[in-house]
Structure 1
Amino acid sequence: ENNEINGNWVGISFDYQDNSRISNNNITGNSLYGVLSRNTLNAQDNWWGDPTGPYNVTFNPGGLGNEVSNEVDFEPWLSEAVIFDEVGIQRPVIIIPGILGSAQKNGEWIIDPILHTYDNLIDTLEANGYVEDVTLFTFPYNWYQSNVLTAFELKNKINDVQDICDCARVDLIAHSMGGLVARQYIQSNYYENDVKQLIFLGTPHEGSPKAYLTWEGGKISSDANGSLVNFIFSREAKKLGYNDVFDYIRNSPISSVKELLPIYPYLIDKATGTYKPFPSGHPINDFLLNLQASLQNLYNSNVVLTNITGLVNPTSTINDFRVVNSSDLFLWQHGYPEGFFENIGDRGLIFGPGDGTVPEESSTTIQSAQFELAYSHNQIPAKGAGLIFKVLTGVTPTQVFDEFTGFGFELLIFKMLSPADMQVIGPDGKKIGKNFNNNEEFDEIPNAFYSGFETDDEYITIFNPLEGEYKAITQGTNNGGSYTIATGLISDESIIENEFTAQTTPGQIQNISITLSAGEIEVAPEDFIAPHILINSPQLKDYLRSETLPIDVVFSDKESGVFSTSLNLDNISAGNNSSIDLFFQPLGNHIFTAEAVDFLNNTAHQEVEFRVIASPDSTILDVERAYSLGWITKKAVKEDLIRKLKNAIRLEKRIDFLEEQFLDKPKIVKRIERIENRIDKVLARAIIRDLENQRNRNINDQAYFLLLEDINWLINN
């Protein structure tokens, strides 16, 4: 396109049989044919030298322009000559990122502030004449949702840009899944013919097998990008109440993951060594299948296509999976990659050519100008910046920024799981996060990103962080409660994770230390001292069953404060500054425990062991209490029991007096004690017989067993 073709015998002679297209040309003044083709050729939207169109004896005999052969599809044609643009910036360009290429800042989507994938591309375009928000725009979007929804949002974005530039068309640079968004728009029935150029960067036109791991197993690749996605997904799943990442992806749902599944056979059945049937043996990606079915709409759109792909090496990219049947009811319904979790052999992963994410067979299928770069998926926007500018403008850039490597970096992330806001201070004293003094933000750490505190999704990322001690300062929000700071150090080699959970109240400030050293993360609160517990009552002693036991415990914490306390008697909850009626407690040993947790989850535990016992006097009181509760129904029965107990007490006192008279004669004392024991047991057994006689007549089971326990205690103690 954009050619002046005139003064020839035949302007264009075409012999190929493919989906080629010529458009936006001035084809005039050619002696025999403007276009001569032996096969069908799309030559719509050209100027043929006259508003009546090209001459064709069969289809346009009234045309006064250059003649075309019957195989040429020339309608519609242009009604006036093309005024060719000068070389250089002619239209605004919109950059469409891929999955993970957008993040929210206080609820508004912005382009990749975390990994900075597009910084070099933007810097190169600006250095060579593009102006932000005048001729250079970005289209960050919610990459969780379906690309169908995002494509409609792209239509609105283009309309907004057209309002600014007062122009008919824009150019698009679309990376990764962003290319599918652009295709969905251009191939849709609501396309407004407002795109001039579309440059694909590593677009998975037929899907990416990596998506199978995520969609079927809830697993994400272990490279830095995958580790970041897994960190985010796992915390969001926990926060939103999903069982795990798989449950979150499937039932949230995160539609974009499914829309990246390949639309060709890629699952090899281990049992047969052949590909499972497609589509029946594979998960179905209706989005890409529909896009493939309407591909001709893209070729007929009059959009100039350029496809830039990456090729790291012949074995850099997952191309297929060797699968076996899975016994899991939900996971791997179409096959489990052999040895994937067991780390056996190749783990069922079959590698081939590609950019590390998108196989070559998926990225190169579009018929367009093709450029291949020896870089990985996320390097393409930076390493291809100069080429992209030249494709857009036809001019070699004077300055190119392409230092982004896409690998060999570390990313430190702090994710807040509410209800709290946060601020992070680096080892060098620089800050990022909420300014608690004025409700604004600190932004002092280079290559760091703070999502803001105006939404419930709050996190901080630091690209290539310094080693040393970071201080996370939190402030309680809403009604307070439990919050968690999840931290992760992500690289291509590994991800190191740690979490800290604490309690907060509205406005409360807390300090947490996060130390980054030698690839490890240590998280610890500045307050590590547990609360103090003082148990005034109960004490280590004997209590009579007839007593009421006061509960008196003092809790204190001089650092972060006491968040919660609990009191238990024999594992049954008790209230502080209350009392326990020991009449209803069994005789014997009891354990009273007190626990306290401060706001930074330091825990203290204290316990006291005591006994509940019976005496003759307390047993009389227990008889009275049983009668008052209606457990003993006849007053005469109650008075008879008390009389016998009092007789036993009087006898006991006489024996005690007798013993005192013979303290200097131990043999006599021992004989008296033996006689006393026999008398005690006789009297006690007589009372027990009375209890048994009255049971279920004038004494219910509650009174019977309680008083029986008292008498047996007196016999045995």
Structure 2
Amino acid sequence: MNDKKPLIVVPGLFGSMSNKIIPGTGGWSFGLAGMVYEPFILMLETMGYRRDQNLFICFYDWSQHIEHSAQHYLAKTIRYAKQQTGSDEVNIVSHSMGGLVSRAYVQGPTYQNDVDQLIILCTPNAGSAPNYSYWTEGELSVNINGKFNFVHFYMRFYIDYLQRRYSTSKTEAIHQHFHGLQDILPSSYYGNYLINNANGNRRFVEYSKMRTKNPFLDQLNNNRGIIQNRGIPVTIIAGTEEETINYLEVDAPTSQCPDGRVAGAAFTNLGDGDATQHSVFLLEGDHYTIKGTHVEVLYKSENILRSKL
């Protein structure tokens, strides 16, 4: 056994699976996301970590609100890791939504002063524009590049599952049973991201006047200085040079889409295919960019992780 501080890995959206999320899937595991995260865990093991000895995985119910996951899953995993190792502190490496779960814990009122450093990969700290389309319409109403995208693939699968399970519309099933999706909508810190194209007069829809907001991220980001005040070093790693939705074009509002129905998108290459750099880099800390997708960044971050851990 080496003297490394215990490491908590917090996977992203769809990176955990159990009967609590989809009945019949068994105990906690990566589920289909094992193809993404198992190689990452193996990479960490080459760095001297051993699962359930000094490496612990925080599986959580991403269908619930992120604050729920922080309180009922991450805090519990940290307590367990400290008990198992005798350490007073842990390090956290989190990916995508997992970074927001981690932030909700270290910025929250029940924080136990037990995180030595926080490393965040590809986390949409200001939110992600495509989620507006999923939240309001139950689907992504624009085409993305032909490259396989794990998040969008699983999103379609899970929303279809919810619709079948609850025999209702996609949006009603999402709003009642997929609260975590609301927590990764764009926040005020993302900036105006909807472009109204009605009558050929293009203009931004002001976030302050929108009905589709992200109160969780607005509050989390208003208080993001708490991380620095609590003395937690932060490393933020973003992917780049992948076509990523930056803005959404909308037309007339509907009952489902009160701020406009999605009709198109504007892309940027300053992103990983899912999260834009400007969203990931909202937090202060050591910033790194890696050429690669939302998934590839995990494996390409090895040298950075070795230097930090």
The two structures have a TM-score, normalised by structure 1, of 0.39
Greater helix proportion: 2
Hey, what's the Cα distance between the residues in 2 that align with 1:131 and 1:349?
Answer: 43
Percent pairwise identity: 27
SS at match of 2:132: helix
Q: Which amino acid aligns with 2:159?
A: F
Aligned counterpart in structure 1 of residue 175 of structure 2, from 250, 273, 278:
250
Instruction: Say if 2:186 is the partner of 1:259.
Output: no
Q: 1:335 aligns with which of 260, 263, 271?
A: 260
| 1:371 and 2:288 correspond | yes
Q: Which residue of 1 aligns with 2:119?
A: 199
One of 121, 131, 153 as aligned partner of 2:40: 121
Structure 1 partner of 2:267? 351
How far the C-alpha of 1:245 sits from its partner, in A, is 1.9
Match of 1:297 among 207, 213, 226: 226
Letter of the aligned partner of 2:230 in structure 1? S
Correspondence 1:97 to 2:11: yes
Mark the CA change 1:359 to 1:163 in structure 2 (over 3 Å): closer, same or farther.
same
* Counterpart secondary structure, 1:354: coil
CA separation of 1:282 and 1:268: change in aligned 2, threshold 3 A: farther
Amino acid at match of 1:261: L
Matched residue SS, 1:133: coil
Cα distance, 1:90 vs structure 2 = 2.7
Letter in 1 for 2:87: C
Q: Using a 3 Å threshold, how does the CA distance of structure 1 residues 125 and 159 change in structure 2: closer, same or farther?
A: same
Pairwise CA distance, 1:198: 0.6
- The answer to which structure has the higher strand fraction is 1
1:236 aligned to which of 151, 162, 167: 162
Partners of 2:238 and 2:306 lie apart in 1 by 16
Q: Distance in 1 between matches of 2:289 and 2:31?
A: 24
Amino acid at match of 1:333: P
Report what 2:51 is aligned to. Answer: 132
Which structure is higher in RCO with an 8 Å CA cutoff and minimum separation 6? 2
Letter in 1 for 2:257: W
**Partners of 2:14 and 2:33 within 8 A in 1:** no
Letter in 1 for 2:300: K
Shift of 1:135: 0.8
- For the residues of structure 1 that align with 2:174 and 2:229, how far apart are their CA atoms? 36
Deviation at 1:255, TM superposition (A): 0.8
CA deviations over 1:81-125 (Å, ceiling 9, x no partner)? xxxxxxx85301010001011112654221354452122221122
CA contact (8 A) 2:211 2:258 kept: no
Aligned residue among 173, 179, 183 for 2:99: 179
**Which amino acid is the alignment partner of residue 155 of structure 1?**
A
- Cα distance change on mapping 1:370 and 1:224 into 2, 3 Å: closer
Q: Which amino acid aligns with 1:90?
A: K
Structure 2 gaps, min length 5? 20-24
The aligned runs of 1:40-439 (5 Å cut-off) are 90-104=4-18, 106-152=25-71, 153-220=73-140, 223-225=148-150, 226-242=152-168, 244-252=169-177, 254-263=178-187, 264-271=191-198, 272-281=201-210, 283-313=212-242, 316-326=243-253, 328-329=254-255, 331-338=256-263, 348-352=264-268, 353-392=270-309
TM-score by length of 2: 0.88
CA drift at 1:390: 2.4
The number of residue pairs the alignment matches comes to: 290
| Aligned AA (1:119) | E
Amino acid at match of 1:169: E
- Per the alignment, do residues 125 and 114 of structure 1 end up closer, same or farther by CA in structure 2, a change over 3 Å counting? closer
TM-superposition CA deviations, 1:278-336 (whole Å, max 9, x none): 221251101001101111111112111100110024xx11000121113x43x221111
- Would the aligned equivalents of 2:162 and 2:174 in 1 still touch at CA under 8 Å? no
> Partners in 1 of 2:259 and 2:194 — Cα distance?
8
Q: Which runs of 5+ in 1 are unaligned?
A: 1-87, 339-347, 393-717
Letter in 2 for 1:297: I
| Matched residue, 1:562 | none
Instruction: Say whether the 8 Å CA contact 1:206–1:363 is kept in structure 2.
Output: yes
3-state DSSP of counterpart to 2:18: strand
Rounded Cα–Cα distance in structure 2 between residues aligned with 1:187 and 1:382: 28
1:111 and 1:139 in contact (8 A); partners too: no
Letter in structure 1 aligned against 2:164: K
Residue type of the alignment partner of 2:261? Y
Matches within 5 A, 1:614-653: none
Q: Shift of residue 224 of structure 1? A: 4.0
Q: How far did residue 129 of structure 1 move?
A: 1.4
AA paired with 1:173?
Answer: V
1:121–1:385 CA contact under 8 A, matched in 2: no
Q: Deviations over 1:679-703 (max 9, x none)?
A: xxxxxxxxxxxxxxxxxxxxxxxxx
- SS state of the match for residue 220, structure 2? helix
2:22 match: none
Q: Contact conserved, 1:117 with 1:382, CA < 8 A, in 2? A: no
Contact 1:124–1:386 (CA<8 Å) still a contact in 2?
no
- Which AA in structure 1 matches 2:224? L
| Counterpart Cα distance in 1 of 2:272 and 2:244 | 6
Q: Which amino acid aligns with 2:173?
A: Y
**Aligned-pair distance for 1:195?**
0.3
Change (3 A) 1:381 1:235: same
Return the index of the structure with the highest Cα Rg: 1
Give how far 1:200 is off.
0.4
Does structure 2 conserve the Cα–Cα contact (< 8 Å) formed by 1:268 and 1:275? Answer: yes
- Check whether the contact 2:70–2:102 (CA below 8 A) recurs between aligned residues: yes
Residues 537-591 of structure 1: CA distance to partner in whole angstroms, max 9, x if unpaired? Answer: xxxxxxxxxxxxxxxxxxxxxxxxxxxxxxxxxxxxxxxxxxxxxxxxxxxxxxx
Deviations 1:123-148 (A, max 9, x none): 12212311111111111111100001
Distance 1:322 1:213 in 2: 10
Q: Is contact 1:96–1:172 with CA below 8 Å preserved after alignment?
A: yes
Please give the secondary structure, in 1, of the residue aligned with 2:235: strand
Q: Distance in 1 between matches of 2:223 and 2:15?
A: 26
